[in-house]
Chains A and B, each alone.
Chain A
Amino acid sequence: MRILTCVKRVPAPGARINLTEDQRAIDARHLSFTVSPHEECAVEEGIRLREANGGTVTVLTLGPAESDEQLRYAISVGADTAELILTDGEEWDPQSTANALASRIKDLEAEGQAFDLILFGNESADAGGYQVGIRVAHLLGRPIITGIKGLQVEQQTVVARREVESGFEVYRLPLPAVVAVKEGINLPRYPTLPGRLKAKKAEVANLGPAVGIGGGLQMRMLRTPKEQQTVTTVLGRGADAAPAVVDLLAELGLLR
């Protein structure tokens, strides 16, 4: 089974995000970077599927030269090969990103690597556009389902589970297919020492630099939302505060 997982380099979750002076980007100087959380699970899921069914896992990203770090991380946890589509550093809009990814995937497939399954994270942690995977699937003429928290491959079908309030929905897509997964589908493994050594020596195919063709959605600037000033009422300390808490519950009509 040939699997391709697409990832994006983003600042590590939990980091405090500061903006550059021109407010066109985030200030990366004091940040550590990672693979976007849903995509970390997509990498893991690809590796698990390969372990169960045989085959290969390729990881693909579009981003600045530093994205090499995220591709090597994917290799250190078990991906076989990695490809970087190098950008000029500016963030690309979702349409340009999808076009470049789909075009590279077509080239890879023309070179003989037809992918049975292409995995995405549901949305990137930073831009959160919720669309690159879907656009790539359309460009390749393949079915896609997003928001997936359970995946199985049965012969030529991928069975995908999506969590909803009452339980889950099941989708059955014919392969080749594209699936966008969410955190919770698995618990990603940590890199092993041999994995790290392999990642260090791995060759990352580096294509580019590519130029994004401006789509119809152009980011102008970023800003931090105004923090609401909240006055915190301290109801007390320790167990003695219990009656005051229950007074509050009653006041809010929750004690019925």
Chain B
Amino acid sequence: MSRVMVFVGDQPGEIESQAITLGHSLGSVEAVVLGDVTIAGLNRVWSVQHPLLSDYAPEAIAEALAQLVGREMPAAVIAAGTERGNEVMAHLGALLDLPLASNIVSVDASDDDWELTRVRWGGSLLEEATLSAFVKLLTVAPHSQPAFAGSGDPEVTIFTPEIDDSLARTRVTERVTVEAGISLTTAPVVVSGGRGVGSAEGFATLEQLANLLGGAVGCSRVVTNNGWRSHRDQVGQTGTRIAPSLYIACGISGAIQHWVGMMAAKKVLAINTDPDAPMVTKADYAVIGDLHEILPAIVDEVKRRKGLE
């Protein structure tokens, strides 16, 4: 059975766990972690330890991975298709001069060359590609696999790479905390607004509803382009990708570039004046009408049921 290394870093979350699932379909998974992280249900975990890796440093991490790969020669190295996963793997590809297939959704590894499917246009188009390389490098498109769940302690092997101090040139030097509110990526419900909201002030009701539900406010690209909201709130291909339990799309028509950012939501509720808008026809639930009338009514009803009024 071929050996597959899955780089999970120092904070393995759900997306990293999905990468492990894909790894399992290709061979025997060995996780590569930074520091003292362990993953239940695997046979082996490589714990990479080096003072330079105490904070995120993509070049240094890739150098450590390159040394481990050179020594162990796995068939493939996989990471989650997150900002960090894609960044570290691209560095690894550059260091080893190997191709990298990013954001793949499936792999057929029955031949020497692997046939794989990867996402383009943030997920609105699929590409069938052939990957030929001595060691295959892949990142896994978020939410394309179920999460991995296993039990039992793995064998942990400490790996100490030799990393030149000069690679500290690309390392986090400072962290600034901006807000402690509920983040877009982890919120169970996201109340999101588009062109139909009409103004920056129009988001006040969306904020109200999000607060009542313990959720976050999102928006479409047109909203940030108009300066109504910060780009931090933008959901979509060039913004944030989210997977809440419920996505409430208010006055968002549902262009494909927006849809790919929230298509992993478990349920979608569209509030729109146009019953034929793509967001409405693709949603699980819809309310047809003016969001400026509907949202205040929902806010009042939520307050009433929560006994706040």
Contact = CB atoms under 8 A, between A and B. Distances in A.
Interface of A: 13-14, 16-17, 26, 37-38, 93-95, 98, 123, 125-131, 134-135, 137-139, 143-147, 149, 161-163, 165-174, 182-184, 187, 215-225, 228, 230, 232-246, 248-250, 252-256
B3 interface: no
B284 A14 contact: no
Contacts of B232: 163, 184
B188 A241 contact: no
A230 B176 contact: no
Contacts of A254: 188-189, 213-215, 245-246
20 contacts: A13-B257, A125-B238, A126-B120, A126-B121, A130-B90, A135-B90, A143-B169, A146-B58, A147-B87, A163-B232, A169-B176, A170-B174, A171-B172, A174-B169, A187-B225, A220-B129, A224-B124, A235-B285, A236-B288, A252-B267
A90 to B, nearest CB: 14
A22 B291 CA distance: 44
B100 A217 contact: yes
Interface stretch (B46-54, B68-76, B193-201, B292-300): B292-300
Interface stretch (B14-22, B29-37, B147-155, B179-187): B179-187
- Most chain A C-beta atoms within 10 Å of own C-beta, residue among B100, B119, B133, B221: B100
Interface in B95-123: 95, 97-103, 115, 119-123
Contacts, number: 255
B25 to A, nearest CB: 20
A37 B56 contact: no
Main secondary structure of the interface of A (DSSP, over half): mixed
Nearest 9 pairs of A and B residues by beta carbon: A184-B231, A216-B99, A167-B178, A131-B90, A138-B94, A242-B297, A239-B297, A130-B86, A170-B174
B298 A220 contact: no
Given A166-B177, A236-B287, A245-B301, A225 B95 contact: no
B143 interface: no
Given A93-B99, A173-B169, A241 B289 contact: yes
Interface residues of B, number: 97
Contacts of B246: 249, 252, 254
A220 B128 contact: yes
B98 A232 contact: no
Contacts of B131: 216-217
B174 to A, nearest CB: 4
B231 A242 contact: no
A246 B213 CA distance: 11
With most chain A CB atoms within 10 A of its CB, the pick from B125, B174, B296 is B125
A57 B301 CA distance: 56
A112 to B, nearest CB: 26
A246 B301 contact: yes
B119 A233 contact: no
A225 B133 contact: no
B189 A135 contact: no
A138 B59 CA distance: 10
Nearest to B105: A225
A130 to B, nearest CB: 4
B130 interface: yes
B121 A128 contact: yes
A242 B298 contact: yes
Nearest to B270: A232
